[in-house]
Structure 1
């Protein structure tokens, strides 16, 4: 599927959604455009797994995704988000792609680096590419912004997170599925057998492939939870590679061995609306099954 056809199809579906949103009435239209996109749903989850070392019991991971700065999400909103994240005192921070909506027209690189540098996580900050982080010179710009603000950018590679007691987990990351070249084999190449591994993939539907590897947890974004959801029907708009897994938890693969979490993200794209799909900041507390309750 070519990028041109993909975008044309996406926009065509988005236009239909816009007409639907308009039919909801003036009040709903105002809410979907001006109110819900500025909300923040802080979701809290416990992740339990036998492969998780006991030393990581209680470690807090914060995932944020899909800010799409420059379309509807503002630098001021990001500043407020960073303050919220730091107050939650995460041990680990992950960003699952789509920082800027259109890198070609972004002119506040240094300011953004300064802001993201303020995010504090003692066990590290990690990120992967989303489709909007590629294209034109966007790939290089995103790399500069994330690395200069203290993030480790995982491009088909992995990183070991080790505690003082010698125990460790791994964070793997793959390139974007739409505009990049994701390579799960390369991302998993350095990870020892039986290690607890979290995969960062902007595209949630890569979970089908990821489930064939010894990966316990995948964190994704990209879907925006559909952005607009209709009661008793579900999401109206889902982009390629986020059509099967749209939001929340799923178990995937043989014996449901992979836990996938799809974050609704923070910004919007194509359409400046959110309806019944609030912007999300997700907090995961790791729980080792080797630790007594």
Structure 2
């Protein structure tokens, strides 16, 4: 029986490059749609303020932009990670879902979160677009032990430390910003929650100690050395991380969020859980005789190494 000789035609350079590019493109597409959107990262910050007594620390976790379609293992991992951070309070800065029919899924997720001193939230633009009436949503969130603040302030005490959580609704007017700011007390550490980072910062009057926002997703799709390809309206010049805003340089932190919107893709922009450790000011070096030690009326921020 004659043998059949197998003939393998060598790849041309052109076919080799096309095949390689196709394979690389497929791997990249899988990475930005399957792995990177769930490559959860914890960002840790030490926030030093004169409103904290020495030898005390409060642990605050911020979550933002969940955009939950249906509960998944990813959301279980988020809840487990939050629990491992041992937060005193959890603060949520909006965009929980995109359609009102996801409400039960969102409530299911919220019930998995635990914080001994409470969970507080504000609405985002997707709640507004879904035409979810604020007071009804507030009642629904109460079922999940979450306090939804609609241009309201909530005062709490944690181990003798006085805090005020001020929730700025979406959308908000300059007068609403002013009203909320003037509801703050200088004797308390005042944290303002706003879904969008761009609002009338000139109305802050130096009365807010820390602002937490989301909305931008950190750009969601980033390329090395380039600015974000797209930022949603009301992002302003803010992308992610710490900024100073208003006449008095109030610290504003913009969270990259946990979900995706428009496209189920993240590229070089990992989803984020943020832990803030509220602490007393760092010790200052002794000043030379006759020169008083330099002090600041405002809190300072410093990122701690990731543990």
TM-score range, shorter chain: 0.7 to 0.9
Cα displacement string for residues 67-98 of structure 1 (whole angstroms, at most 9, x for unaligned residues): 1011xx74432222112211221101000000
Taking the TM superposition and a 5 Å limit, the aligned residue runs for 1:29-40 are 29-40=29-40
Contact 1:157 1:186 in 2 (8 A): no
Alpha-carbon separation, structure 2, partners of 1:76 and 1:210: 42
Alpha-carbon separation, structure 1, partners of 2:151 and 2:218: 25
Alpha-carbon separation, structure 2, partners of 1:135 and 1:206: 18
1:184 aligns with 2:177: yes
Q: How much has 1:164 moved relative to structure 2?
A: 5.0
Secondary structure of 2:90's partner? strand
Contact 1:56 1:286 in 2 (8 A): no
1:217 aligns with 2:217: no
Give ranges in structure 2 of 5+ residues lacking alignment.
Answer: 1-21, 286-307
1:244 aligns with 2:229: no
Match of 2:167 in 1: 173
Contact 2:153 2:164 in 1 (8 A): yes
Match of 1:193 in 2: 186
Q: How much has 1:237 moved relative to structure 2?
A: 1.1
Alpha-carbon separation, structure 2, partners of 1:36 and 1:248: 19
Q: How much has 1:204 moved relative to structure 2?
A: 0.8
Contact 1:246 1:262 in 2 (8 A): yes
| Aligned residues: CA RMSD | 2.6
Taking the TM superposition and a 5 Å limit, the aligned residue runs for 1:19-58 are 25-50=25-50, 52-54=51-53, 57-58=56-57
Contact 2:196 2:215 in 1 (8 A): yes
Secondary structure of 1:30's partner? helix
Secondary structure of 1:134's partner? helix
Give ranges in structure 1 of 5+ residues lacking alignment.
Answer: 1-21
Taking the TM superposition and a 5 Å limit, the aligned residue runs for 1:4-153 are 25-50=25-50, 52-54=51-53, 57-70=56-69, 74-103=71-100, 105-106=101-102, 109=104, 112-140=106-134, 142-153=137-148
Alpha-carbon separation, structure 2, partners of 1:82 and 1:288: 28
Secondary structure of 1:150's partner? coil
1:154 aligns with 2:149: yes
Q: How much has 1:56 moved relative to structure 2?
A: 8.7
Higher mean Cα deviation, 186-195 or 126-135? 186-195
* Closer, same or farther: CA 33–290 of 1 in aligned 2, 3 Å: closer
Match of 1:234 in 2: 227
Contact 2:184 2:208 in 1 (8 A): no
TM-score by length of 1: 0.80
Which structure 1 residue ranges, 4+ long, deviate > 6 Å from structure 2?
290-293
Contact 1:69 1:75 in 2 (8 A): no
What is the total number of aligned residue pairs between the two structures? 261
Q: How much has 1:215 moved relative to structure 2?
A: 0.6
Q: How much has 1:144 moved relative to structure 2?
A: 3.7
Which is higher, the Rg of structure 1 or of structure 2? Answer: 2
Alpha-carbon separation, structure 2, partners of 1:226 and 1:163: 35
Secondary structure of 1:251's partner? strand
Higher mean Cα deviation, 27-36 or 220-229? 27-36
Alpha-carbon separation, structure 1, partners of 2:200 and 2:43: 21
